[in-house]
Amino acid sequence: MTEFNGFALGEYGLPGPLRDELVAAILAGAKTATSSLYAAYGDEPLPRVGEGEILLDSAGAPVAVLRTTDVELRAFGDIDADFARAEGEGFTDVAAWRAAHADFWGEHPLSDASLVVAQRIALVAVLGQPITRAHPADAPALARLEDVCFPPVQVAAPVQVAARLAAFPECFWVLREDSGIVAAVSGFATNRRDLTDDMYADAAAHEPDGAWQMIFSVITDPVRRGEGLATRVLDRAIADSRARGRAGLVLTCKDELVGFYARLGFVDEGTSASTHGGVVWHQMRLSF
């Protein structure tokens, strides 16, 4: 088994959107269980209670230390709703869990008697300030950060943050530490070229394959400003948007931030049509 500093490596799901989703769920505290087919272990030892492992992201970078808190061999047909919910992937009942896992494990013969390694995990530590996508469980923390970063007339309400997370979690980038989220960037994708006020209120207008990545929010914990955290998260959002085949990114900002975004490659297109929060905004565009 491959190791890192004496720890086994934890690779959850295939690299890409699935792993990104699972890593985000673990870091948000929503995923506290995982399952594997016993037959897939072959000669590899099963996880043991108390063992630690290093959680890897889609790029193969270590992002957290996990500890196994419980391991059981269960029949596929005996997995219960409590365990299904603990997997943190939005399963509300066992039927949904069974269908998803039967599809994922499709290369193996599967019956109700097939043995499943049902493993409980705990998040021990976050490593190296990983930048990940967000998870619905992050909504309260993101709403609190919005509240301290923007004036009341510009802040996204908690219900609005939750709706956005539900509609486009892949378009939220968050920087985490052991204390929680310290910086984040978010917005949806669309084929419309310009950022307009109606977009802020309509999460359902997200177009997953849209040409332009709109940026609604760039937030940093006020006590951590000046450390380059927002730049790091924006750099990741830019890289991911390029990798997804977007035409570029669009955001609006106040006069005093035009220079900041220009240094990241955004071009000032002049005064935006947006009057969000009763402010004059510049529209900034980064084209690939």
* Every domain range in the chain assigned CATH 3.40.630.30: 131-287
Quote the pLDDT of residue 1: 42
pLDDT, tens digit (0-9, with 9 covering 90-100), for 269-286: 999 988 888 889 999 999
Portion of the chain with pLDDT greater than 70, in percent:
98
Non-local CB neighbours of 4 within 8 Å, separated by 6+ positions: 54, 62
The residue-averaged pLDDT of 253-278 equals: 92
* Residue that has been written with the tokens 């997995």 in this structure: 79
| Mean pLDDT over the full length of the chain | 91
* Every domain range in the chain assigned CATH 3.10.400.10: 3-126
pLDDT, tens digit (0-9, with 9 covering 90-100), for 43-66: 889 999 999 999 998 888 888 999
Beta-sheet strand order (sheet of 212-215): 189-190, 212-215, 248-253, 282-287, 267-271
CATH number, domain 131-287:
3.40.630.30
3-126: CATH class: alpha beta
Quote the pLDDT of residue 17: 86
Quote the pLDDT of residue 5: 54
The residue-averaged pLDDT of 151-155 equals: 83
Confidence grade of residue 128 (pLDDT, cut at 50, 70, 90): confident
Residue 264, token pair as written in the block: 């990241």
Residue 7, token pair as written in the block: 């720890």
The residues facing 65 across adjacent strands are: 54, 125
pLDDT, tens digit (0-9, with 9 covering 90-100), for 81-105: 999 999 999 888 899 999 999 998 9
